[in-house]
Structure 1
């Protein structure tokens, strides 16, 4: 009898740490579709510049609206969902994005484009904190790796932006955005499978927490000042990464057109390479972080990217392609790790931590897009690219971060 009880206990422990890959892949695929819809906005930039005669500053305002709508709401949604998780919010967010896609396809002017983008941003704001909670529940004992699987979906969606410009928006124009509604519909179908699992495992998770409280197992929590200091450093790192990514993602295509004389279509290639390498870097970073630690991986990521960022604006075209691959791979290898690090700093507040880091990334990217757009109009794109190339050096601050915390959150 005792042997049977021991076997049951062992199975129970195994279940606690098991990684649920089917759910991770499902939520990652929805993340892909969500971020593809966001990529539709940036992929339309060259088309909107021509069709609606927009300035680079107005392009910056569109990016700002998308990112700020998402960033402001993400921590709010995360805070609410930490207190009352709401699985039904996942499909509701996709419906909002669907409305945004339909509006974007037919918006006749700058202001209606902004309105459509608000709906896309709101959908993303609702999805990300709840999606991160699903990942947390499905991760088992491989948190950084699981978060990377989730982020790979989003990065892959962003990566497809330049391809959409080449294949869809240059031939079909603004109305090609209507296909984004199909992405939202597909995401809703997948979420109909994820939501029931999410509800069931929330109940199991809550039950375990109550058992721990009843047994008097209190979590060791860092002092508030230490957490605040660590979060401030994380925010600085996210700022540096996001502003640099905003420069590359929003304006590098225009920069290579001006500097190297490339066509709109050819200008998408280096941008695609940067984003594609970022997908691989995100996946690799999660694997490495579980082995060497979150802090070390973040240091390797942003400081390792600094030399490549510094030389990128000064290279001949032939060298741009291999270097931008290395830059994208190294720079993005630390993003999902920073989310997990924040979650471990704030145990029990998965949604809030995820919303703060991913929301701040969107917000800083949006603010960067506006500021850099105005600077590009006032000065030159070359000046903007050289100025932004020093941003990854801010990653030196990661040395000051506290050691990793891997207690169950």
Structure 2
């Protein structure tokens, strides 16, 4: 149930890039303008994510999970029918706020439900990845048939996801909500902020390349049906990588798996830029798999590095560090307008290199 809810809320992160070709077609937005919409969806989310993490470490807030899902859906639904560029940005920013509010508390409950298992946590993360993958499949046919005016229908998955998630929330919290979290830090180990900071930078580097690909790959392959296929391949490859990551971590450990994944991401992202014709889809899939193998591992590793601040760790690893990549999308758009999309995407290759180098400085937490 938690995985299904995660799919519903993360669908709206994937919906914003899926809106991009329609904003270009129907409203004439340029590369910088549409990357600004992506920025709006991630900026507010990035700023408030630590706050929600701190709040959920201090207070039990299970009610925040269904409410945030509805807010995320309402923002995207309004973004397609907003009457101006400013209102569009404000609407998708509201959606980003909902996504930000969802992740810290849901990550805490997922940790309880998974009993610390890397494989089980990967299934929770898989839900979010499938939500990303479902976005172009849902958004593109709907808007291709009826235009941006049909975007209010995109609120339906949020309401459905909230209804599905409620029984799981009640089961894991005993129906409680809003009560102070007493003695939560008494029996846990020491928080390793230095290692957690390095892990956060790894996730930021991953986020830059992944958000850059998700924002521009549809336009890079020509938009329309080809663009929808590219986005689906990107997001679906992430689903495969998420499941694979949990299994590899159970065998090799999280940090080793992370290092191998980022090493593999370097040639995969380079292949997106260099591959001719339909071969680009193979490298889009390979890039997504490599970038998503460590995705759920970031969450459990971050929570083990900050055992006294599980909500904060979940908010940062599932939310803040992931959404920060959207802050760089206007720069990628500016490079694309100044030169070409090929050059802009080529600039992304450096970031998996940086993630790999920094991941080599991390170690498994003692006793994890």
Q: TM-score with structure 1 length normalisation?
A: 0.83
Contact 2:249 2:257 in 1 (8 A): yes
Matched, 1:253 2:218: yes
Counterpart for residue 86 of structure 2: 111
Question: 5 Å matches for 1:347-366?
Answer: 347-366=307-326
From 192, 206, 215, the equivalent of 1:241 is: 206
Query: Any idea what the Cα deviations from partners look like across 1:91-121, whole Å, max 9, x if unmatched?
Result: 2212322431442242122111111112211
From 171, 194, 203, the equivalent of 1:229 is: 194
Instruction: Out of 160-169 and 66-75, give the one that drifted further.
Output: 160-169
For the structure 1 residues 207 and 346, does the alpha-carbon distance in structure 2 shift closer, same or farther, using more than 3 Å as the test?
closer
For the structure 1 residues 406 and 279, does the alpha-carbon distance in structure 2 shift closer, same or farther, using more than 3 Å as the test?
farther
- Cα distance in structure 2, aligned partners of 1:101 and 1:207: 33
Matched, 1:99 2:74: yes
How far 1:163 sits from its partner (Å)? 2.0
Query: Any idea what the Cα deviations from partners look like across 1:266-287, whole Å, max 9, x if unmatched?
Result: 1222232121111111111012
Query: Any idea what the Cα deviations from partners look like across 1:49-77, whole Å, max 9, x if unmatched?
Result: 12122111111111111112222222111
SS in 1 for 2:190: coil
- In the alignment of these two chains, the number of paired residues is 365
Matched, 1:184 2:184: no
Larger radius of gyration: 1
Q: TM-score with structure 2 length normalisation?
A: 0.92
Would you identify which runs of 4 or more consecutive aligned residues in structure 1 move more than 4 Å?
206-210
- Cα distance in structure 2, aligned partners of 1:406 and 1:154: 28
From 137, 148, 160, the equivalent of 1:163 is: 137
Query: Any idea what the Cα deviations from partners look like across 1:275-323, whole Å, max 9, x if unmatched?
Result: 1111111111012213321111111111121122223211111322223
Query: Any idea what the Cα deviations from partners look like across 1:333-375, whole Å, max 9, x if unmatched?
Result: 0011011111100002111001122233343221121211122
SS in 2 for 1:44: helix
How far 1:137 sits from its partner (Å)? 1.0
Query: Any idea what the Cα deviations from partners look like across 1:113-138, whole Å, max 9, x if unmatched?
Result: 11111221111111111110110111
SS in 2 for 1:400: coil
Matched, 1:305 2:272: no
From 326, 348, 358, the equivalent of 1:397 is: 358
For the structure 1 residues 37 and 271, does the alpha-carbon distance in structure 2 shift closer, same or farther, using more than 3 Å as the test?
closer
Matched, 1:266 2:226: yes
How far 1:202 sits from its partner (Å)? 7.8
- Cα distance in structure 2, aligned partners of 1:305 and 1:126: 30
Contact 1:293 1:404 in 2 (8 A): no
Instruction: Out of 177-186 and 96-105, give the one that drifted further.
Output: 96-105
How far 1:406 sits from its partner (Å)? 4.5
Matched, 1:127 2:111: no
SS in 1 for 2:221: helix
Query: Which 5+ residue runs of structure 1 have no aligned equivalent?
Result: 1-25, 258-262
Contact 2:205 2:352 in 1 (8 A): yes
Question: 5 Å matches for 1:10-29?
Answer: 26-29=1-4
Counterpart for residue 115 of structure 2: 140
Counterpart for residue 197 of structure 1: 171
For the structure 1 residues 165 and 233, does the alpha-carbon distance in structure 2 shift closer, same or farther, using more than 3 Å as the test?
same
SS in 1 for 2:342: helix
Matched, 1:334 2:291: no
Counterpart for residue 16 of structure 2: 41
Matched, 1:371 2:331: yes
- Cα distance in structure 2, aligned partners of 1:29 and 1:406: 31
Contact 1:240 1:392 in 2 (8 A): yes
Counterpart for residue 42 of structure 2: 67
Contact 1:96 1:119 in 2 (8 A): yes
Contact 1:47 1:169 in 2 (8 A): yes
Matched, 1:325 2:266: no
Contact 1:299 1:399 in 2 (8 A): yes
Query: Which 5+ residue runs of structure 2 have no aligned equivalent?
Result: none
CA RMSD of aligned residues (A): 2.3
SS in 2 for 1:106: coil
Contact 1:230 1:401 in 2 (8 A): yes
Query: Any idea what the Cα deviations from partners look like across 1:195-244, whole Å, max 9, x if unmatched?
Result: 311322989xx99968x95xxxx54425xxxx333123212211221111
